[in-house]
Amino acid sequence: MKTLIRSAKIICKSSEFNGQTKDIFIENGNISQIADFVDIEVDDVIEGEDICVSVGWFDMRVHAKEPGHEYKESLESMEQTALAGGFSEIALLPNTQPVVQTRESVNYLKRSGEKVKFHPMAAVTLKCEGKDFTEMIDLHQAGAVAFTDGEHPIQNPDIFLKSLQYLTQFGGLLINHPEDTHLTHFGQMHDGTVSTFLGMKGMPQMAEEIMVMRDLKILEYVMQTPFSQGLGENSVLHFSCISSAQTINFIRMGKEMGLPISCDVAAHQLCFTENDLVDFDTNLKVNPPFRTQEDLEALWEGLADGTIDVIVSDHNPQDEESKKLEFDMAEFGVIGLETVFSSINTFNKVLSLEEIIEKITDNPRNILRLKNPNIKEGEKANLTIFSPNQTWVCTEKNIVSKSRNSPFIGKTLKGKVIRVIA
| Residue 62, strand partner residues | 92, 315
DSSP string, 37-50: ------SEEE--TT
Strand pairing of 383-393 and 412-421? Answer: antiparallel
Q: Per-domain residue ranges for the chain?
A: 56-372+390-414
- Alpha carbons 219 and 241: distance in angstroms, whole number: 19
89 neighbors 116 (Cβ within 8 angstroms): yes
283: left (phi over 0), alpha (psi -120 to 50) or beta: alpha
Listed in sequence order, the residues at least 6 apart from 34 whose beta carbon sits closer than 8 Å to its beta carbon are 10, 17, 22, 23, 24, 25, 375, 376, 377
Of these residues, 149, 264, 314, 362, which one is catalytic?
A: 314
pTM score over 0.85: yes
C-alpha to C-alpha distance for 407 and 235, rounded to whole angstroms: 32
What pLDDT was estimated at residue 363? 98
**Fold observed for domain 56-372+390-414:** TIM Barrel (3.20.20)
What is the total residue count of the chain?
422
19: left (phi over 0), alpha (psi -120 to 50) or beta: left
314 is known as an active-site residue = yes
Q: β-strand 383-393 against 310-312: which pairing, if any?
A: unpaired
Tell me what pLDDT residue 226 has: 73
Q: For residue 243, what pLDDT is reported?
A: 98
Half-sphere exposure of 282 (CA within 13 A, CB side): 18
Report d(CA 160, CA 236) in Å as an integer: 12
Angle at 224 between CA 220 and CA 230, to 5 degrees: 105
Question: Strand ranges (DSSP E) for 294-411?
Answer: 310-312, 383-393
> pLDDT means per 10 residues in the chain (422 residues)?
96 96 96 95 93 98 96 97 98 97 97 96 98 96 97 97 92 96 97 96 98 97 77 85 98 96 98 97 98 98 98 98 96 98 97 98 97 96 98 96 97 98 95
